[in-house]
Amino acid sequence: EKGGYDHFMLKEIFEQPQTIFDSLRGRLDAKNGQLTLGGIREYADVLKNANRIIIVACGTSWHAGLVAEYMIEELCRIPVEVEYASEFRYRNPVVGPGDVIIAVSQSGETADTLVAMESAKQKGAIILGVCNVVGSSIARLSHAGAYTHAGPEIGVASTKAFTAQLVVLCLIGLKVASEKGTITQQRFQHLLDELQDIPEKVAATLQLNDAVKQVADKYKDARDFLYLGRGYNFPVALEGALKLKEISYIHAEGYPAAEMKHGPIALVDEQLPVVFVATRDSFYEKIVSNIQEIKARKGKVIAIVTEGDQIIPGMADDVIEVPEADELVAPVISVIPLQLLAYHIGVLKGYDVDKPRNLAKSVTVE
Ligand code: M6R
């Protein structure tokens, strides 16, 4: 049932070229410049005219929501907020008609997310569900939605569901942008082509498994890790840190790279591995200076960079080179080595990576 893999988590990481393909199937037709999202067709106008989009989610799904905030604001010019479902629910939020809530959940059963969407629904907001489990409670309670189609996820650490969420949220953003006219035809077509290429690039990234394992072996005894990224890769840093915490029980924090100087840089010494998600994008020069700041304080830098990077390999202690991609879809690729890093460290430390202590696959209590 693990398909020859030692753990479900590894199997699910390796399934991603296929699951991403499945998320795109029947929706993306890059050749003809078409994008179809049957599940939200009836709400296309509501989305287009939304005053604001609020994404509610927990954990890894919340990280996917953060990436979607960047995507949707960029593509659709609609203000987006991303809320921890638990906080949103309990603070009497200002929400009502004209607002669209997107509830993102792998299981579709997360209690905090469910109650958050129910209360927003009562206040007159339209609810879209982005769920993996067909027929789940969140899917049923949504007005409309799009399934992620990643297939059953057994490992407690969410991996393939996350990349599927990114892809589906990107499709939603593109659809709304094209209807709203906030994207040029050229950029629209370019992003369709980029999405089309993702499964292949993810497959290529998975070839780095042995290289990532070596990095895991080198740093597995560290007490803490810092994960840093900017822009679209900032939520990827958060996700990398969460994966490591869950699976290897090593304390890890994710930060926007520029926030470091406002506090966390005090942690840096020669013992601290700092993972930079530093693929080539509009934030590249800035993140190069952040790497310099860490090196000046003798931190160990592990950098995820774009293939052919000429600068960062000369500065970092360890480098993982991933295929080039448009910054909007780059998180789907840059998260892969971080999933593998957490997996290998967990396994090397002898932990049960499929069932980490204290955690359940779906959290059905508030
Ligand atoms: O099923 P959901 O996506 O609603 O679950 C949300 C979180 O509980 C989940 O992402 C959790 O953080 C994972 N264990 C992360 O790997």
Per-residue model confidence (pLDDT) at position 365: 81
The proportion of the chain whose per-residue pLDDT surpasses 70, expressed as a percent, equals 100
Q: 137 in ligand 1 pocket by Cβ < 6 Å?
A: no
Is the pLDDT at 1 greater than 90? The verdict is no
Select from 89, 162, 363 the residue to mutate for testing ligand 1; criterion: most ligand atoms less than 8 Å from CB.
363
Per-residue model confidence (pLDDT) at position 255: 96
The proportion of the chain whose per-residue pLDDT surpasses 90, expressed as a percent, equals 93
Report which protein residue has its CA nearest ligand 1's atom 16.
157
Phi, psi of 299 (to 5 degrees): -65, 155
Q: 353 in ligand 1 pocket by Cβ < 6 Å?
A: no
Say how far apart CA 169 and CA 72 lie, in whole Å: 8
Is the pLDDT at 359 greater than 90? The verdict is no
Say how far apart CA 179 and CA 168 lie, in whole Å: 17
If we measure between CA atoms, which residue out of 235, 327, 336, 222 comes closest to residue 270?
Answer: 222
ipTM summary value? 0.99
State which amino acid sits at residue 276: F
- State the pLDDT confidence band at 360, using cuts at 50, 70 and 90: confident
- pLDDT, tens digit (0-9, with 9 covering 90-100), for 178-215: 999 999 999 999 999 999 999 999 999 999 999 999 99
Q: 58 in ligand 1 pocket by Cβ < 6 Å?
A: yes
Q: Model-level pTM?
A: 0.97
List Cα–Cα distances, 143 to 176, 200, 363, in angstroms: 17, 34, 23
Task: State the first-to-last Cα distance of the chain, in angstroms, to the nearest integer.
Answer: 32
Is the pLDDT at 362 greater than 90? The verdict is no
Is the pLDDT at 165 greater than 90? The verdict is yes
Is the pLDDT at 26 greater than 90? The verdict is yes
Atom of ligand 1 nearest to the CA of 107: 1
More confident residue, 1 or 179: 179
* Mean pLDDT (whole number) for 271-288: 96
Is the pLDDT at 144 greater than 90? The verdict is yes
| Residue 361 among the catalytic residues | yes
Per-residue model confidence (pLDDT) at position 99: 97
Other Cβ atoms within 10 Å of 143 Cβ, number: 16
Say how far apart CA 291 and CA 343 lie, in whole Å: 25
Per-residue model confidence (pLDDT) at position 298: 95
- pLDDT, tens digit (0-9, with 9 covering 90-100), for 242-257: 999 999 999 999 999 9
Per-residue model confidence (pLDDT) at position 143: 96
Report which protein residue has its CA nearest ligand 1's atom 12.
59
- pLDDT, tens digit (0-9, with 9 covering 90-100), for 298-327: 999 999 999 999 999 999 999 999 999 999
Q: Between β-strands 144-145 and 80-84, what pairing exists: parallel, antiparallel or unpaired? A: unpaired
Select from 7, 89, 107 the residue to mutate for testing ligand 1; criterion: most ligand atoms less than 8 Å from CB.
107
- pLDDT, tens digit (0-9, with 9 covering 90-100), for 53-112: 999 999 999 999 999 999 999 999 999 999 999 999 888 899 999 999 999 999 999 999
Atom of ligand 1 nearest to the CA of 156: 14
Per-residue model confidence (pLDDT) at position 219: 98
Say how far apart CA 138 and CA 111 lie, in whole Å: 9
Sign of CA dihedral 262, 266, 269, 274: negative
How many helices and strands, by DSSP H and E, does the chain display?
13, 12
Per-residue model confidence (pLDDT) at position 105: 98
Per-residue model confidence (pLDDT) at position 184: 97
Q: 132 in ligand 1 pocket by Cβ < 6 Å?
A: no
DSSP H helices, 181-329, are 185-206, 209-219, 234-248, 284-296
Per-residue model confidence (pLDDT) at position 366: 79
Per-residue model confidence (pLDDT) at position 357: 85
Q: 105 in ligand 1 pocket by Cβ < 6 Å?
A: yes
**Are the CB atoms for 335 and 236 separated by under 8 Å?**
yes
Say how far apart CA 305 and CA 313 lie, in whole Å: 8
Query: Mean pLDDT over all residues of the chain?
Result: 96
Per-residue model confidence (pLDDT) at position 272: 95
Q: 113 in ligand 1 pocket by Cβ < 6 Å?
A: yes
**Are the CB atoms for 285 and 299 separated by under 8 Å?**
no
Say how far apart CA 337 and CA 155 lie, in whole Å: 17
Report which protein residue has its CA nearest ligand 1's atom 9.
59
